[in-house]
A and B are shown apart, each in its own frame.
Chain A
Amino acid sequence: MFRLTHRLVRALAITLFGFGLIAQIQLSGGGVADLETALRWALLTGALAAAVPFGLRDDPHEIEPEPTCPLAPRLRLVVLLIAACWTLFQLGVLSWGAISTSARQWDGVVAWELRARALADQPTLAQPLFLDEQVLRPSHSYPLLWPLLQGTLTQMFGEATSRMLPVALWLSLGAAVFTGLRKLGVTLALAVTTAALTNPRMLDECVGAVDSGFADVPHAALLTFLALGFARRDALLLSAGTALLIWSKPEGILHALVPIAVAWLSAERRLSIAATLGLSTGLLAWLPLRQDLVGSPLGSGLWKIGLGLLALTAVVALTASLLHEWSFRARAVTALGVSLIGLTLTFVFRQELFGHSAIGAYLEESQRGGRALGRLGRMLWEFPQHALFGKGRLAVTFLAPCVTFVMLTRRGSALIGMAGLYLILGLGTVTMMACLTPEEDFTHYLKSSIGRVLMHWSGAAWIVTGLFATRLIATGSGGEDDHDQALAVQNADTVSTT
């Protein structure tokens, strides 16, 4: 069962990746994309990726672990029934909401659905809505993966059906959480999956909800795929997921750096290369289109960027091999230094790299360092209210990994693992973006956006909760078998700290 869902998630990620790559290449230079053919080829590639276990460290022929669920049979039945009924109920509400009307919330109307309609009518950027600076076109520099995909589905099945895309991706978020927790056993993994799919931010009628037209839930699904990539050491998923982040939302460029940092800090050469290749592919496909959209075409500059990204991949590959012998602290200090240099260079060349775009607005804000520092203090005070408690409408999403981690610490097993590090760095990007938001009214930003932005990491948070719980259960009774199992689990999901 776990292997099947893993293959389904892989197939979906590779299909999205293949579609995004083909469609964006076709669109570059004002070309007309054949969206239906792009989707068919992508589906074929996805099916191949599901069939071939390339990029997986686990032995594909291993015997699936026996469910280790320590629950009584009657309780297991109750859990399974509640999980099934509740998920079906949510699916019904969200499908009804998605099919009933077009997008009902701000960005869904303004940024995402309008461009999907335009691309469904004419699958090219060579039309006034995209390229004419005199035309009013809000959020014109936003990435195009979701509008392209929704436009394609509109062409093939009609607009109402195409609006089921975010609902399908919400389900795939659950599939990714379930797959990442195979060592937890079917019942507990299903319970955690149900919790991951259950989120007031996703279910309530509000900005960012599954059927609101926003791209937040699809983006959250991609970030969960990456958490699964770390939990299962799936290089292919990691590579495709990193590229997809860049094509998904403007902040995806920042998010795409997180998997590279995690793999590099963990001295995982294979995963470092996979994530860096994903970043390079993502940028090479997206930057030419983005520059067209903001009215300053790249032209021959693309080759320079390509060479730069190739050099980056080589440096990451080489250093990840060399750093394997270093201590975690030395790697962390080096990573911090490299990040600071990278941030400085990004800031210096912000106009050339991100001028006239959403990320550019954030970088401009970084000039007001004093205000950002003031906001950091406020974030540190208000973050727990949004992340851990109910103010951001996230229920116990971020409380769960904290509770399980504290319990692990008390049992002397305080290793966070790659997925845990991924979540921590991800929440770091949320803090950074909040401090640098160009929004003048910071209180309004905290009220209107921070819960939605935190929701991106909810699937990853539940995978981390499940991984911690697996270790907790394995160390629970202290029996010999349990101890062996605990060691196996720790070895499978551990940041090397030696």
Chain B
Amino acid sequence: MRPSAIVLALCAAQVAWTATGVPKKAIGRRVDQIEAHQRDGGPFRLCSEQSAAVLKELRDTTPPDAVIPVIGSARGDMEFAPALLWPRLCVFELDEAQRVRVPIRRFEDSDPAPIRLRGEGRRSLRLEPIPPQFR
């Protein structure tokens, strides 16, 4: 077989292999995800339903310059909080080792929200009131 034919065959295989995924993976899935993104006002589908609802509630009920106190796990769904709530800032109530409670600081004129966001495990976020003694 001629080398040029082999090169063309390899290139054709690459294109054909990719083309087989176009209807479902390149077009179908993209349409679904763009629709979901536009419907939700952001990539909330990446979180669990419960976490998405909590983040949407926070986004809808706090001013853009709010500071959101957070506590608990910083992994999983909590990772989306800074991006989905931007320009609000998510600020840890505890130090990095999750031991020492630190006061929520003010950033410029923004006030901390009266509630805090708790991360439980990787796929669960919930809102809870800040105990009065910590306000």
B2 touches A191 (CB 8 A): no
Give the CA-CA distance A86 to B22 in the complex, in Å.
11
B18 touches A101 (CB 8 A): no
Instruction: State how many residues of chain B have any CB contact under 8 Å with chain A.
Output: 47
Give the CA-CA distance A399 to B10 in the complex, in Å.
9
Name the interface residues of A165-223: CB closer than 8 Å to any CB of B.
188, 191-192, 194-195, 198-200, 203-206
Give the CA-CA distance A465 to B107 in the complex, in Å.
55
Name the interface residues of A405-433: CB closer than 8 Å to any CB of B.
407
Name the interface residues of B82-135: CB closer than 8 Å to any CB of A.
82-84, 86-87, 89-92, 96, 102, 105, 107
Which residues of A have CB within 8 Å of B82? 110, 114, 129, 135-138
Chain A residue nearest in CB terms to B34: A100
Chain A residue nearest in CB terms to B108: A128
Give the CA-CA distance A1 to B108 in the complex, in Å.
56
A465 touches B22 (CB 8 A): no
Give the CA-CA distance A7 to B133 in the complex, in Å.
65
B6 touches A403 (CB 8 A): yes
The verdict on A302 contacting chain B, using a C-beta distance below 8 Å, is no
Contact of A395 (CB < 8 Å), options: B18, B78, B89: B18
Nearest CB in chain B: distance from A437 CB, A? 16
Contact of B6 (CB < 8 Å), options: A86, A121, A129, A407: A407
A109 touches B83 (CB 8 A): yes
Say which size band chain A's interface belongs to.
Answer: 35 or more
Contact code string B67-88 (vs A, CB < 8 Å = 1, else 0): 0001000100011111110110
Question: What 3 A-B pairs come out closest when comparing CB atoms?
Answer: A472-B3, A395-B17, A204-B25
Question: Footprint of A on B, CB under 8 Å?
Answer: 2-4, 6-8, 10-11, 13-15, 17-19, 21-22, 25-27, 29-30, 33-34, 37-38, 42-43, 46, 70, 74, 78-84, 86-87, 89-92, 96, 102, 105, 107
Question: Footprint of B on A, CB under 8 Å?
Answer: 69-71, 79, 82, 86, 93, 96-97, 100-106, 109-110, 113-114, 117-118, 121, 128-129, 132-138, 188, 191-192, 194-195, 198-200, 203-206, 390, 393, 395-397, 399-400, 403-404, 407, 465-466, 469, 472-473, 476
| Known A105-B46, A117-B87; further 16 A-B contacts with Cβ < 8 A | A70-B4, A82-B15, A93-B30, A103-B43, A104-B33, A104-B43, A109-B43, A114-B86, A188-B4, A194-B15, A198-B18, A205-B33, A396-B13, A396-B17, A403-B10, A476-B2
List 24 contacting pairs A-B, 8 Å CB cutoff, sorted by A. Answer: A100-B37, A101-B34, A102-B43, A104-B37, A110-B79, A113-B83, A114-B83, A118-B86, A134-B91, A135-B91, A135-B92, A136-B92, A138-B74, A138-B82, A188-B4, A195-B10, A195-B15, A203-B25, A204-B21, A390-B17, A395-B17, A403-B6, A465-B10, A469-B3
